[in-house]
């Protein structure tokens, strides 16, 4: 997985060339490039892409819309590359399933380092222990990287899976947002603690019978979050 194929999407050919050169120096040789949203989606449909670096502003579409469509095809990590640095844009990206956010101007070696870390994280996901966590209503299989809700497989983005796996490993323990960020995010990437809350919301939509009234992944007011081992009255 560390040598997986990386897709670079940006309408500036010079920037693509610079990123490709830097990534190869970091030992990431398998690269594909696209300068439009249409070209990017065609490549993703045809190739087994391990990670996508995606510019938000493309000549034929919005990167956020492209990310939404990517998530219908693959759960490969998406790293947004954009000049937009407002919190609302970051939140929008994370809600759509992005895994990281890099603002322009940037150091290409930083982008390469983040790509390398995400590829290593994906490789670790594939070599996790054989533990299966069964909470009745949902089941998480660490070895296969699968989440099942009421017996039906539900797609799960990499950071969602790692966060839920962490909760499953520590049922009924309370963790603050900063602790969750340090334990789950910090080993793999830099980011914002707000992304923890966003990912918890996304997980709830997948595992809770009623996400508005969570029974499994609950908030302990003033303390943090915990995953309840035995939820009551699950339909």
Residues 94 and 52 in one domain: yes
Contact 204, 149 (CB under 8 A): no
Residue written as token pair 């579409």: 61
Instruction: For residues 143 and 73, state if they share a domain.
Output: no
Q: What share of the chain is helix, strand, coil (3-state, %, to 5)?
A: 40, 20, 40
Q: Are residues 60 and 90 in the same domain?
A: yes
Cα dist. 10→80, 126, 150, 165 in Å? 10, 29, 40, 33
Average pLDDT over residues 26-48: 92
The reported pTM is: 0.59
pLDDT tens column, 17-36: 999 999 999 999 899 999 99
Does residue 232 sit within a domain? no
How many angstroms separate the CA atoms of 210 and 121, rounded? Answer: 31
Of 100, 126, 152, the residue at which a domain comes to its end is: 126
pLDDT (tens digit per residue) in 141-167: 987 888 999 999 998 888 899 999 999
Give the pLDDT band (50/70/90) at residue 186: confident
Judge if 187 and 109 occupy the same domain.
Answer: no
Counted domains in the chain: 2
Residue 232 has what pLDDT?
A: 43
Considering 126, 158, 178, which residue would you say is the last residue of a domain?
A: 126
87 and 14 within one domain: yes
Given a contact cutoff of 8 angstroms between Cβ atoms, the answer to whether 10 and 56 are in contact is no
The pLDDT value recorded for residue 126 is 63
Range of the domain at 81: 6-126
| 152 and 215 together in one domain | yes
Say yes or no: 68 and 162 in one domain. no
94 and 61 in a single domain? The answer is yes
Let me know whether 121 and 149 are in one domain: no
Q: DSSP per residue over 70-134, as a string?
A: HTTT----EEEEES---HHHHHHHHHTT--EEEESS--HHHHHHHHHHHHHHHHHHHT----EEE
Residue 193 forms part of a structural domain: yes
The pLDDT, as a whole number, for residue 86 is: 65
CATH number assigned to the domain comprising residue 167? 1.10.10.10
Which of 72, 98, 126 is the C-terminal boundary of a domain? 126
Write out pLDDT tens, residues 67-112.
Answer: 888 888 888 889 988 776 666 667 777 777 788 888 888 889 989 9
Q: Is residue 1 a part of any domain in this protein?
A: no
């Amino acid at each position: 997985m560390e040598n997986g194929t990386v897709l670079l999407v940006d309408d500036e050919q010079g920037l693509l060339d610079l990123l490709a050169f830097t990534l190869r120096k970091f030992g990431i040789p398998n690269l594909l490039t696209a300068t439009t949203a249409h070209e990017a989606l065609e490549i993703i449909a045809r190739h087994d892409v391990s990670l996508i670096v995606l510019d938000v502003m493309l000549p034929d579409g919005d990167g956020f819309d492209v990310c939404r469509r990517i998530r219908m095809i693959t759960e490969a990590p998406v790293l947004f590359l954009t000049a937009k640095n407002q919190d609302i844009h970051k939140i929008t990206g994370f809600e759509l399933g992005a895994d990281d956010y890099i603002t322009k101007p940037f150091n290409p070696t930083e982008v390469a380092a983040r790509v390398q870390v995400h590829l290593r994280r994906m490789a670790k996901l594939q070599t996790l222990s054989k533990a299966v966590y069964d909470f009745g209503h949902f089941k998480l299989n660490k070895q296969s990287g699968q989440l099942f809700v009421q017996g039906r497989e539900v797609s799960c983005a990499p950071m969602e899976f790692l966060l839920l796996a962490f909760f499953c490993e520590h049922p009924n323990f309370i963790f603050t947002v900063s602790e969750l960020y340090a334990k789950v995010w910090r080993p793999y990437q830099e980011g914002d603690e707000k992304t923890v809350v966003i990912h918890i919301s996304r997980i709830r939509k997948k595992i809770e019978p009623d996400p508005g009234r969570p029974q499994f992944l609950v908030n302990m007011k003033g303390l943090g979050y915990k995953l309840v081992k035995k939820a009551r009255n699950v339909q």
